[in-house]
Amino acid sequence: MAGENPTTTEYIQHHLTNLTFGELPAGYMRDDGTVLTESMWTIAHGSSEATAMGFNAFHVDSLAWSFGLGLIFCLLFRAVAKSASSDVPGKLQNFVEIIVEFVDNNVKDMFHGRNPLVAPLALTIFVWVFLMNLMDLIPVDVVPELMMALGVPYQKIVPSTDPNVTLGMALGVFILMIYYAIKIKGVGGFVKELTLHPFNHPVFIPVNLFMELVGLLAKPFSLGLRLFGNMYAGEMIFILIAVMYSAGLFFGLFGGLLQVGWAIFHILVITLQAFIFMVLTVVYLSMSHEDH
């Protein structure tokens, strides 16, 4: 963190900064005054260095936490599947079966087609996004302070507060949408859908193409930015509440009550956002499978 007694602005900026790995260009002056004689791949110390690294930089913390949570999901569900029994099931098996049945029923209601990929994809998205969102309930200072003690300057542990993660997932869904739209309807059918809807006349092809492309491209952006916006706002509220702990005993106690109340309410938010991401994914894929 920026100093032993950071200001409120420094505290907030520190907690909202990703651990970034990238290439600093030759001639760049680092925060400690060192001027690079040649380009160098390194960890960014500050937002200015992260900005100088440009588009090819990696958010190491977002990648590590999202990969680790995805691995936990795979290993946990695999272990339950391998140990599943038709006898009296354990609590964990019951819990997993409830989630699988919940997702499967929603897919059956929303997806009007035949594709064995959709239900497993919906299950993966729901559980994975939920686990990423769930990290928001860990007190904001615990992991960053621990990582700083180990020499790691920054650490954001909620991957869904990183637009690179949410838009990356949305881009994956978008690629599947385009793939199945072309596979089901053919290239000609897909092009006709873009050019002859909603006005089925050659004169309106430019208007149709503009409206359909805007609607098509809006899907992944709305999918990714909705999740990012809600989770980022929730994380910001946790950080602002944590600032109150340094304002004296009264505000510290009041902040503690706010923290508990917001955490309880946030359980609904993180679950709802995972569900919405899953539902929109299934709906968009269902639209791609419809052949009029």
Give the active site residue among 62, 66, 160, 230.
Answer: 230
CB 238 within 8 A of CB 86: no
Q: Are strands 58-59 and 20-24 parallel, antiparallel or unpaired?
A: antiparallel
Catalytic residue list contains 226: yes
Of 216, 127, 218, 223, which Cα lies nearest the Cα of 168?
223
Give the active site residue among 47, 164, 226, 286.
Answer: 226
Of 270, 113, 130, 231, which Cα lies nearest the Cα of 176?
113
How far lies 242's CA from each of 47, 140, 253, 257, in Å? Answer: 22, 8, 11, 11
Catalytic residue list contains 230: yes
Give the active site residue among 115, 222, 246, 288.
Answer: 222
Of 244, 261, 262, which Cα lies nearest the Cα of 253?
244
Catalytic residue list contains 115: no
Residues with active-site annotation: 222, 226, 230
